[in-house]
Amino acid sequence: MVYQAAETRYDSMTYRRSGRSGLLLPAISLGIWWNFGGVDTLENSRAMLRAAFDLGVTHIDIANNYGPPPGSAEETFGQVFREDLAPYRDELIVSSKAGYYMWPGPYGEWGSRKYLIASCDQSLRRTGLDYFDIFYSHRPDPDTPLEETMTALDYIVRSGRALYIGISSYTPEQTREAAFILKQLGTPCLIHQPRYNMFDRRIEEAGLLDVLGDEGIGCIGFSPLDQGILTNKYIGDLPGGSRAAKHNWGDRLAQQKLDKVLLLDSIAKARGQNMAQLALAWTLRHPQMTSALIGASKPEQIADAVAALDNLDFSADELARIEAILAD
């Protein structure tokens, strides 16, 4: 059956400007790190991509190494794009990244010009796209000069391979230096993608959010639900098919952390939300935060996440109670 996007897809989504750029991103973006690889069911991946777009989630975030196996998430997206989403290309923001291991030898990972440009070309072939809307340096390279990595990203834009560039998991100091280099080159950094959630607040503590505000760079936080811990699913026994059960996350699911989730859930219920919705709303409370990047294993989870946008406001009392729980 030929896919037709929902006519209501823009009725309820919230869009936020990425830093001081002209680009708006949905407050909820879909990352296809898991559940879109070659080991997963294509029809479920298709159903999630369709559901996301029907809800106004216009931003799909990928990376060269997503799968498993590496590269297969881009291939899955490419097939669904060709068969379903191609007519809507100009309504989509598709991002990919390079930085982690992809092929043998000295040129298959990190941040050299050789690796970044070759990887971008491979990712374009796998997705079947003519260009990416955003292309990221996925992680800083301790052995390659930052000027080389940033010059390669600038070239990727100037050669038509991408419209914007971003960085991921850079420290505040590296971010400020990268922003300076890119401004000199004439291709400003659009966005930074750090890990951020209630249990991982390093970007606050280290001052990254302040740097992004100063530099006019957007922020999209990945793992806003701590890979499912900040939901209701781990209160009680671990679901058999969950990532926690598959990968034996033991220490990450210590009872103390789950006790905090239980307390936080009581605040969520008082707000008319579930735990995941509270965690997403909390992540989006910063003015620098452009979007929360979620993962999903079924379409219903995407709809549930988008519903968090119905209540993004926090009272001072709610924030104080949340801080007390997290700090305990």
Residue 185 is predicted with a pLDDT of 98
DSSP 8-state secondary structure symbol assigned to residue 240: T
Distance between CA atoms of residues 181 and 168, nearest Å: 16
Residue 250 is predicted with a pLDDT of 53
Angle at 90 between CA 89 and CA 94, to 5 degrees: 60
DSSP states along 167-208: EES--HHHHHHHHHHHHHHT--EEEEE-B-BTTB-HHHHTTH
Domain count, the chain: 1
Residue 206 is predicted with a pLDDT of 97
Angle at 72 between CA 69 and CA 78, to 5 degrees: 180
What predicted TM-score, i.e. pTM, was given to this entire model?
A: 0.94
Instruction: Report residues of the chain scoring pLDDT below 50.
Output: 238-240, 242, 245-248
DSSP 8-state secondary structure symbol assigned to residue 81: I
Q: Which domain holds residue 35?
A: 15-226+273-311
Amino acid letter, 266: S
Structure tokens at 164: 């914007």
Does residue 251 fall inside a structural domain?
no
User: Please, is 311 exposed, middle or buried when counting C-beta atoms within 10 Å of its C-beta (0-12, 13-18, 19+)?
Assistant: middle
Does residue 266 fall inside a structural domain?
no
Distance between CA atoms of residues 63 and 96, nearest Å: 4
CA 165 to chain centre: 14
Residue 235 is predicted with a pLDDT of 74
Residue 233 is predicted with a pLDDT of 87
Report which of 183, 161, 236 is spatially closest to residue 21, judged by C-alpha positions. 183
Establish whether the linkage from the previous residue to 104 is cis, with ω within 30° of 0: no
Mean pLDDT of the chain: 95
Amino acid letter, 263: L
Strand 24-26 to 15-17 pairing: antiparallel
Does residue 217 fall inside a structural domain?
yes
Does residue 250 fall inside a structural domain?
no
Residue 255 is predicted with a pLDDT of 75
Contact between residue 76 and residue 38 where contact means Cβ atoms under 8 Å apart: yes
Residue 234 is predicted with a pLDDT of 81
DSSP 8-state secondary structure symbol assigned to residue 163: E
Distance between CA atoms of residues 318 and 315, nearest Å: 5
Does residue 318 fall inside a structural domain?
no
For position 140, which CATH number holds?
3.20.20.100
Torsions phi, psi for 218 (to 5 deg): -75, 170
Residue 247 is predicted with a pLDDT of 46
Contact between residue 95 and residue 134 where contact means Cβ atoms under 8 Å apart: yes
Distance between CA atoms of residues 310 and 166, nearest Å: 29
Does residue 171 fall inside a structural domain?
yes
Structure tokens at 243: 């990532």
Distance between CA atoms of residues 271 and 323, nearest Å: 16
Residue 246 is predicted with a pLDDT of 45
Does residue 295 fall inside a structural domain?
yes
pLDDT digits (tens, 9 = 90+) for 56-86: 999 999 999 999 999 999 999 999 999 999 9
Does residue 201 fall inside a structural domain?
yes
